[in-house]
Structure 1
Amino acid sequence: MKKKGMILVVDDDAAHLQMLKTVLGSLGHKVATATDGSEAIDYVQEQSCDLILMDVRMTNVDGIEALAQIKERNPSIPVIIMTAYSSVDTAVEAMKLGAYDYLTKPLNFEEMQLIISRAMEHLQLAQENHSLKQQMGLTQGFTEIIGSSAAMGKVIEMARIVAPTEATVLITGESGTGKELFAKAIHTNSERKKQSLVTVNCAALTETLLESELFGHEKGTFTGADRQRNGRFVQANKGTIFLDEVGEIPLAMQAKILRAIQEREIQRLGSDEVQHVDVRIIAATNRDLQEEVHKGTFREDLYYRLNVMNLHIPPLRERITDIPLLAQHFLKKYVEKNRKDIKGFSPEAMAILTHAPWPGNVRELENVIERAVILAMNPYVEENDLPHTLTSTITSGADDTEGVGGLGGKSLEEIESLAIQQTLEKTGGNKTEAAKLLNITRTTLNNKLKKYNIFNE
């Protein structure tokens, strides 16, 4: 435990101040001094210390007043009050204002040393606890984002880096890739996490309703506006606003959004009053906003304001090694929800899942797993539990080879054989890792290798 540190001693009695400096210095502490409460307040504003030992009775600013102001500026510093008047009232007032403890004059040096040591230990525990919470915060919120592929790893790492900053973030990617999950994780790991994350679906509202939703309105502004209403920007003050599907905002509204982002100012519909808001902006879109700028449907200046930091979420077809992890995650979720006893997926079912095109991405995969759990009558999800549209996409000879890896017209056994070979290639021949990705035991994998004459020695 840390028992030594920088102590600020505050006392207008020069002899007593020098004596304390000598005693504390002999105990191994570094000591700074001040002769009045006002000097102590200035010291805390400009420099750091681990503990303050302060007299109550001083000429200009007394210890009680200084204690109150110091706690306003830095509530984490332990303050020990010294008083020659052993009155309960003074001690209680000091403790109410946040004093760590108090000592009576003449000081008992053994008691002083014990209290200081205890305060230092308390401070270190608080610092270690804060550090631990910060370290835990690095993963908080990201646990809901499932994926071990290199593509997802890069995006998650970038999101972790940008989260603690105030940077505006534009999250791009196809529908169903999990853009809102990233927005929530970024907010959860930001300095604004104790305030609200307010989400607005910009595609779900007409232009007038969107303006009212974002900025609020005055009573009587339009039919049905029977009272004054604050918008989402005001609701998100000190927190984060997530503009989902921002590419759907009409051009006329884009200018008002731009002003809100640039000036952090908004006006309610029907009002001339300007309101200042302190919000962080996270936006998401499945559109190519650069292309929209070229077409003249999205403002270039707004695009650059939003695109300070860009996170592009790759589609599921570009990270097929994440599919087994996601499938297992959703299986567990819906098995618990529907009180079913299902252990996993058959190799044939997993082969279909890992080679489907997934135009709806993770959202589509989740829906498929939920349906399969409901229909499954065996301990494992079989290919017959999967939608016919999914299996036919792979086996019908469709020309969509980008999503299915050129598997059109192949039998399920051929697909399974190819899935095993490709997985072994991805794991560098590591059977244990391959079995884990395929969601089968290593013994089953070895049996499959023999069945399909796949040699991996």
Structure 2
Amino acid sequence: MSNSILVFTRDQNLLFELGTQLEGKQLIVPCDALESLPELLKTQTISAVLVHLDRTTLNGYSPARFIAELDEAIDNAPLYGLVDQDCPPRLRKLADKTIDDVLEFPLDFGRLRRLLSDRQDLEGELAGFWSEMPHKELHGRSRSLVTFTPEMFDTMDEIKVAARHNVTVLLIGETGSGKTFLARLIHELSDRREERFCTVACGALPPDLIESELFGYVKGAFTGADRDREGKFAAAGRGTLLLDEIDVLPLEQQAKLLRVIETGEYEPVGSNETQYSQARLVVASNYNLEELVRSGNFRTDLYYRLNILNFRLLPLRERPWDIEYLARKFALEHSRTHNIPLRLIEPAFLETLRAYHWPGNVREMENVVRRAVLYCHRGMLTVGDLPSSIRVAAANQSHNENEPNQPTMHNMTLHDDRQLQPGMLPAGMGARIRVGSPNTMARSSMPSSSHGHASSMTHTHPMATATETGIANPPPAAAPALRMQTNSLEARVDVLERRIIEDSLQRNNFRRKETAAELGISRVTLYNKMKKFGLL
């Protein structure tokens, strides 16, 4: 990692003092013009940027334009402001919103040294998963499989045993769940690891080409067959052959595959010469083959020949701890691949990934994390770097999963069987509940939050009047704060939504038009949400 620090200042005394106080541990790269900053960042590997904010900093720029161009130029390094006493107020205000951290003169060099050395140890946190949580792991020559899902532990042990023996393996799992990856790992764990690994994507081939792809053909077998061509069984030799999406194999080819599995014999298309396969077979399916057998779309005898050792790969949505591990792993891998240094992964980033249902499983997740790494700003992975579709779907998924447990408003009591009293209700609750005699309110059990109030409540507009409900409401400004203090699903979604909006506002220098466009909402909706969360 680079120890070079870019210092944006026109004060030579400050450059000298920084060099002295940092004791030569960081190489200082000076810059005194905003125009030359992008070129310096391209030609130098910079670990952090310090910008001196005083009356000479702007040099003809408006504060908003200066901060905007500074923020745009510095993409992969943390940005810290050194605020002098004569810094223009508007510049200081914008810096507080945009820059990672600010230090005021006289400088606290101890704190500056801590900022420059305080980096999230992403490699260490990934390794911490291995040491702190129960897990199972399998390691091949070029790939490893790690799971923290207890339901997968027995499967991992069985896969290790299966890899050592010359038997057909059946892998069943949703698309993108890692069947091809696991097939290659089984090959690397077997005594055939020095031989070839070949794949046939049955779903990508027309029915009339599957046979020639599997068994090959001889010259003149059909129009265009101007030479002999070996099939995948021959190409695999003594290695491993993966038949992916075996569920789409036509019944005629299923019969011929059954013969190869039982006897090892097959004939290339157009040939009467019998050949023998020595390949180890791994087959994969997106669907439960037993159901296809019952529907008549898969041969019963072939199914029982394949079903010697079968393994079901759980979908990613059923492996929440694997999600966080894979997110960290993919983030580090793609940051190295694209030369984008990462220094921080925001907890809400991981929370959103865990809440999403991942229909495309591991393959979809890797693509999402790669995109986030490419879009991340100053080495920080935040919720705002995720596609809006992921953020919205994750919030909706959390809501849908918890909604059946939500109590109804006309059926609320506290956990100790005391009826709800007016003073116990959060802001806005009054419009949904009328206070009457004890007989007018049904009793039901209700889990309590850590604050002693009901943990999930539906809120109404804070302007509900006391005459409607018999309950006096707090001032409107208090409503968002009260909602944030509860442990309800709505409150947690509000926290996530507020963070997303704040991140987007900061990236767009609090320009509402650009922020609304980025979030895919209207400026009126953005204004109402900013008002709701106290961001105005």
TM-score tier (shorter): 0.5 to 0.7
Provide closer, same or farther for how the CA distance between residues 308 and 402 of structure 1 changes in structure 2, counting only shifts above 3 A.
farther
Provide closer, same or farther for how the CA distance between residues 327 and 150 of structure 1 changes in structure 2, counting only shifts above 3 A.
same
- The aligned residue for residue 280 of structure 2 is 280
Question: Does the CA contact (< 8 Å) of 2:195 and 2:239 recur in 1?
Answer: yes
Q: Deviations over 1:311-330 (max 9, x none)?
A: 11111111101111100110
CA distance in 1, matches of 2:320, 2:402: 13
User: Stretches of 4+ moved more than 3 A in 1?
Assistant: 396-400, 402-416
- The aligned residue for residue 268 of structure 1 is 268
User: Are 2:395 and 1:390 aligned?
Assistant: no
CA distance in 1, matches of 2:259, 2:251: 13
Deviation at 1:408, TM superposition (A): 7.5
- The aligned residue for residue 169 of structure 2 is 169
CA distance in 2, matches of 1:404, 1:164: 47
CA distance in 1, matches of 2:354, 2:405: 10
Q: Secondary structure at the match of 1:373?
A: helix
CA distance in 1, matches of 2:347, 2:193: 42
Q: Deviations over 1:180-220 (max 9, x none)?
A: 11111111111211211111111110122111010000112
CA distance in 2, matches of 1:215, 1:403: 54
Q: Deviations over 1:145-187 (max 9, x none)?
A: 2322213332222111111101110011111111111111111
Provide closer, same or farther for how the CA distance between residues 410 and 167 of structure 1 changes in structure 2, counting only shifts above 3 A.
farther
Q: Unaligned 5+ residue runs, structure 1? A: 1-136, 417-457
Q: Deviations over 1:54-101 (max 9, x none)?
A: xxxxxxxxxxxxxxxxxxxxxxxxxxxxxxxxxxxxxxxxxxxxxxxx
Give the TM-score, by structure 2 length.
Answer: 0.49
CA distance in 1, matches of 2:228, 2:149: 49
Provide closer, same or farther for how the CA distance between residues 404 and 317 of structure 1 changes in structure 2, counting only shifts above 3 A.
farther
- The aligned residue for residue 317 of structure 2 is 317
Aligned-partner residue type, residue 250 of structure 2: P
Map residues 292-311 of structure 1 onto 2, 5 A cutoff: 292-311=292-311
Q: Deviations over 1:125-155 (max 9, x none)?
A: xxxxxxxxxxxx9732585223222133322
CA distance in 1, matches of 2:403, 2:177: 15
Q: Secondary structure at the match of 2:241?
A: strand
Question: Does the CA contact (< 8 Å) of 1:316 and 1:358 recur in 2?
Answer: yes
CA distance in 1, matches of 2:358, 2:403: 7
Q: Secondary structure at the match of 1:145?
A: strand
CA distance in 2, matches of 1:331, 1:350: 11
Question: Does the CA contact (< 8 Å) of 2:355 and 2:397 recur in 1?
Answer: no
Q: Deviations over 1:218-261 (max 9, x none)?
A: 11222221101111101112121111111110111110111111
Question: Does the CA contact (< 8 Å) of 1:144 and 1:181 recur in 2?
Answer: no
- The aligned residue for residue 87 of structure 2 is none
CA distance in 2, matches of 1:403, 1:183: 39
Q: Secondary structure at the match of 2:204?
A: coil
Q: Secondary structure at the match of 2:146?
A: coil
Aligned-partner residue type, residue 266 of structure 1: Y
Map residues 347-426 of structure 1 onto 2, 5 A cutoff: 347-396=347-396, 400-401=400-401, 411-412=492-493
Provide closer, same or farther for how the CA distance between residues 302 and 354 of structure 1 changes in structure 2, counting only shifts above 3 A.
same
Provide closer, same or farther for how the CA distance between residues 317 and 397 of structure 1 changes in structure 2, counting only shifts above 3 A.
closer
Provide closer, same or farther for how the CA distance between residues 409 and 244 of structure 1 changes in structure 2, counting only shifts above 3 A.
farther
Provide closer, same or farther for how the CA distance between residues 212 and 288 of structure 1 changes in structure 2, counting only shifts above 3 A.
same
Provide closer, same or farther for how the CA distance between residues 405 and 146 of structure 1 changes in structure 2, counting only shifts above 3 A.
farther
Deviation at 1:355, TM superposition (A): 1.1
- The aligned residue for residue 221 of structure 1 is 221
Question: Does the CA contact (< 8 Å) of 1:348 and 1:383 recur in 2?
Answer: yes
CA distance in 2, matches of 1:252, 1:140: 36
- The aligned residue for residue 183 of structure 1 is 183
- The aligned residue for residue 208 of structure 1 is 208
Provide closer, same or farther for how the CA distance between residues 405 and 311 of structure 1 changes in structure 2, counting only shifts above 3 A.
farther
Q: Secondary structure at the match of 2:283?
A: strand
Question: Does the CA contact (< 8 Å) of 1:396 and 1:409 recur in 2?
Answer: no
CA distance in 1, matches of 2:404, 2:344: 22
Q: Between the two proteins, what is the percent identity of the paired residues?
A: 37
Question: Does the CA contact (< 8 Å) of 2:356 and 2:397 recur in 1?
Answer: no
Map residues 21-32 of structure 1 onto 2, 5 A cutoff: none
Aligned-partner residue type, residue 339 of structure 1: N
Q: Deviations over 1:357-384 (max 9, x none)?
A: 0111111110100110111113321111
Provide closer, same or farther for how the CA distance between residues 212 and 405 of structure 1 changes in structure 2, counting only shifts above 3 A.
farther
CA distance in 1, matches of 2:302, 2:205: 20
Deviation at 1:412, TM superposition (A): 3.9
Deviation at 1:398, TM superposition (A): 8.0
Provide closer, same or farther for how the CA distance between residues 397 and 253 of structure 1 changes in structure 2, counting only shifts above 3 A.
closer
Map residues 417-456 of structure 1 onto 2, 5 A cutoff: none
Aligned-partner residue type, residue 381 of structure 1: L
Question: Does the CA contact (< 8 Å) of 1:198 and 1:235 recur in 2?
Answer: yes
Question: Does the CA contact (< 8 Å) of 2:148 and 2:321 recur in 1?
Answer: yes
CA distance in 1, matches of 2:306, 2:405: 35
Q: CA RMSD in A?
A: 2.6
CA distance in 2, matches of 1:405, 1:364: 30
Question: Does the CA contact (< 8 Å) of 1:395 and 1:408 recur in 2?
Answer: no
Aligned-partner residue type, residue 278 of structure 2: D
Provide closer, same or farther for how the CA distance between residues 389 and 211 of structure 1 changes in structure 2, counting only shifts above 3 A.
same
Provide closer, same or farther for how the CA distance between residues 361 and 348 of structure 1 changes in structure 2, counting only shifts above 3 A.
same
Q: Which moved more, 1:377-386 or 1:309-318?
A: 377-386
CA distance in 2, matches of 1:396, 1:337: 33
Q: Deviations over 1:284-343 (max 9, x none)?
A: 111110000001001011111111101111111111011111001100111011111212
Deviation at 1:410, TM superposition (A): 5.6
CA distance in 1, matches of 2:180, 2:353: 24
Q: Secondary structure at the match of 1:146?
A: strand
- The aligned residue for residue 326 of structure 1 is 326
Provide closer, same or farther for how the CA distance between residues 404 and 302 of structure 1 changes in structure 2, counting only shifts above 3 A.
farther
Aligned-partner residue type, residue 272 of structure 2: D
CA distance in 2, matches of 1:258, 1:336: 45
Deviation at 1:281, TM superposition (A): 0.9
Q: Unaligned 5+ residue runs, structure 2? A: 1-136, 407-487, 498-536
Q: Deviations over 1:95-136 (max 9, x none)?
A: xxxxxxxxxxxxxxxxxxxxxxxxxxxxxxxxxxxxxxxxxx
Aligned-partner residue type, residue 219 of structure 1: K
Question: Does the CA contact (< 8 Å) of 1:149 and 1:321 recur in 2?
Answer: yes
- The aligned residue for residue 32 of structure 1 is none
Question: Does the CA contact (< 8 Å) of 1:216 and 1:230 recur in 2?
Answer: yes
Question: Does the CA contact (< 8 Å) of 2:177 and 2:363 recur in 1?
Answer: yes
CA distance in 2, matches of 1:186, 1:383: 36
- The aligned residue for residue 438 of structure 1 is none
The total of aligned residue pairs comes to: 280
Question: Does the CA contact (< 8 Å) of 1:240 and 1:282 recur in 2?
Answer: yes
Q: Deviations over 1:404-424 (max 9, x none)?
A: 9999856446679xxxxxxxx
Q: Secondary structure at the match of 1:192?
A: coil
CA distance in 2, matches of 1:364, 1:403: 26
CA distance in 1, matches of 2:363, 2:282: 21
Aligned-partner residue type, residue 139 of structure 1: H
